[in-house]
Structure 1
């Protein structure tokens, strides 16, 4: 599994957001929704590969662990980003005005 592929997941959503921003105003919530949809799509893709493997309907067995690892890494990255956002929010809430 190449790091570039994982990086492309997030840069693709970022480039899509930039392209969309050029044509219309994109909100932060739209960007987050698109990124989460892509992570969800990877999770569903991994589940589908696993089902196909269990049914014996898959030709390339190596695709199953690759899809599972892509979904795992994307989910871990999403959790790491969420944790950073929560930490930043807590830090902002502790600031004196």
Structure 2
């Protein structure tokens, strides 16, 4: 019976220098981490944009330059929905993180 050593890596002893370099190395971002970061960045930017739109429409209404008064409540609703989505995403991320921490203990 012949053993295929193609997938077997021989073990070697660890040195103190190996452990130091492993601790100092920063882990690479996985594809999932960058995807979550991009999604979270988009959500935060969406909140900023919708809030800026509300502030602009409030200014226009206060100065009498807003022609359609119904656009302000619509903009406020959009801003509230985007803020609620960001808060929900944050809460889900914190919940998932705490579940991961519980798994390690």
Q: TM-score, normalised by structure 2?
A: 0.63
Residue 48 of structure 1: which of 52, 56, 60 is its match?
56
Report the aligned-residue RMSD: 1.9
- In 2, the alpha carbon distance for the partners of 1:80 and 1:34 equals 14
- In 2, the alpha carbon distance for the partners of 1:94 and 1:80 equals 21
Dislocated runs of 4+, deviation >6 Å? none
Query: Which residue of 2 is the match for residue 87 of structure 1?
Result: 95
Query: Which residue of 2 is the match for residue 17 of structure 1?
Result: none
Contact 2:43-2:82 at 8 Å conserved across structures: no
Q: TM-score, normalised by structure 1?
A: 0.67
Bigger helix share: 1
Aligned partner of residue 82 in structure 1, secondary structure:
helix
- In 2, the alpha carbon distance for the partners of 1:44 and 1:67 equals 10
Aligned length: 73
Confirm whether residue 57 of structure 1 aligns to residue 65 of structure 2. Answer: yes
- Give the unaligned 5+ runs of structure 2: 1-30
